[in-house]
Structure 1
Amino acid sequence: MQTNAKGINLIKQYEGLRLKAYQDVVGVWTIGYGHTGSDVHAGLTITSAQATQLLQKDLQYFENGVSKLVTVPLNSNQFSALVSFSYNVGLNNLGSSTLLRLLNQGNYAGAAQQFPRWDRAGNQVLPGLLARRQAEQALFLQPV
């Protein structure tokens, strides 16, 4: 599966576009639409076209990861919400989450209720993260 337009727009909206590298709230060097990794460092600048390329590459990574972790059928919106979630919190966190455990047990409603619990970064509740989780939850629950 691939992330649908609603999922991509959600990621772009909440990650924002930054063409100059910056440190996020927990100190991770970030650029573009939330791209992180060893290739991001202080002083790095990119173009918007490069940001889009990085997003596409990152999406493939997270799409593959979600596909491997989830063992139950998903519709396009559910899949895209999980890609956005893991794009932000990481595949390891998705893999060890109650959200995934409930989902893989077939408890879709219970899994959806877990999204808002992921509203912290650096042990701080962040209103922007709660808004993102609520948007991901709404997308997850939206029929296709």
Structure 2
Amino acid sequence: MTLVAWFLGLIRPTVPEPVAAPQALESESVAPQPAAPKDFHTLACEVAAALARRFEGLYLVPYLCPAGVPSIGYGATYYPDGTRVTLHDSAIDQRQAEYMLLWMVRTVYLPAVLKLCPAVDTPERLAALIDWTFNLGAGNLKVSTLRKRVNAGRWDDVPAEIRKWNRGGGRVLRGLVLRREAEAALI
């Protein structure tokens, strides 16, 4: 079992059993094809989105995040059209929240991490850095010692650097400690 499979099992403990495909007609002689393996970026984005779901929580109406920024869904501060979230916005449904989360992970945070940390070499490490950046922003990644350690290939030092970012409002927050531990475990 890979680390990613184990981790996804923790955050999605109930996965339905696959349903058997209907039997081919006798006149058909097409052999079933195995599912294509997921690519590096897709796998990383799925794990990062799972982390964000777990630690951001789902809010279908606008709210102020702990930093005082209007947010909606799984911590979105902007809509895909670039409009900022305000506290006067309409509620969204879970499908919209999911779309916004995947949009942010794939089009905002994945490219930022790939640009700032080209040395990332596994989907697990990429997922951890995407979630870290989702939570703390690309600006913090850009100026962090974490980025320097990643790009120097000093992977043994990376978990400690991730764990340093566990404060909000000047104090250690349990939710951030747990999130940093989950990210560090993927390194």
Indicate the residue corresponding to 1:95 in structure 2. 142
> How far is the alpha carbon of 1:103 from its aligned partner?
1.0
Indicate the residue corresponding to 1:72 in structure 2. 119
> How far is the alpha carbon of 1:7 from its aligned partner?
2.5
Indicate the residue corresponding to 1:113 in structure 2. 160
State how many pairs are aligned. 140
Structure richer in helix, relative to its length: 1
- Secondary structure at 1:137's aligned position in 2? helix
2: CA distance between counterparts of 1:56 and 1:4?
A: 8
2: CA distance between counterparts of 1:136 and 1:39?
A: 27
Equivalent residues of 2:63, 2:71 under 8 A apart: yes
Which runs of structure 2 are paired with 1:116-131 in the superposition (5 Å)? 116-131=163-178
**CA deviation profile, 1:98-137 (whole Å, cap 9, x unmatched):** 1110111110111222111000122221110011000000
Relative to the length of structure 1, the TM-score reads 0.91
Indicate the residue corresponding to 1:139 in structure 2. 186
Indicate the residue corresponding to 2:85 in structure 1. 40
Cα RMSD for the two superposed structures: 1.3
1: CA distance between counterparts of 2:77 and 2:170?
A: 20
The answer to whether 1:30 aligns with 2:71 is yes
- The structure showing larger relative contact order (alpha-carbon pairs under 8 Å, at least 6 residues apart) is 1
2: CA distance between counterparts of 1:73 and 1:127?
A: 27
2: CA distance between counterparts of 1:59 and 1:6?
A: 10
Name the % identity.
Answer: 32
> How far is the alpha carbon of 1:4 from its aligned partner?
4.2
Higher-Rg member (1/2): 2
- Secondary structure at 1:35's aligned position in 2? coil
Unaligned runs of 5+ in 2: 1-40
Equivalent residues of 1:4, 1:77 under 8 A apart: no
Unaligned runs of 5+ in 1: none
2: CA distance between counterparts of 1:41 and 1:59?
A: 21
2: CA distance between counterparts of 1:101 and 1:65?
A: 15
